[in-house]
Amino acid sequence: MSPAAVHEYFAGLQKRFVSALEGLDSPFRKDSWTRAEGGGGTSCILEEGKVFERGGVNLSRVQGKALPPSASAARPQLAGRSYDAMGVSLVLHPRNPYCPTAHMNVRFFSAGDT
């Protein structure tokens, strides 16, 4: 699967999570950002909702022309390769103290073929 296809899937995943949660609670505040070196993302934040005290469903993508030395120290064959890293993170803090906080991260990393 190509990085573009993964990013499209992750963007759809974020939209599905936000839509389902808005069906239970208040609307999310959305803020998009870009990264000059490549990439960007969208943060979706819920505060002071009926069910959730605070929550976030975030999508990020970071691209670069060359991996930093610290990223290729254990795998020198990757030194200098381009990279594409992305993920969806979800954090929910319910108002009910008997309900657990939820944390989830789904990530994808590609080096060399971006």
Out of 103, 104, 107, 113, the active site residue is 103
Q: Chain-centre distance of CA 102, in angstroms?
A: 15
7 annotated active-site: no
Strand pairing report for 39-47 and 29-34:
antiparallel
Compute the distance between CA of residue 59 and CA of residue 22 in angstroms, rounded to an integer: 17
Amino acid at 11: A
C-beta of residue 109 within 8 angstroms of C-beta of residue 81? no
Please identify every residue annotated as catalytic.
103
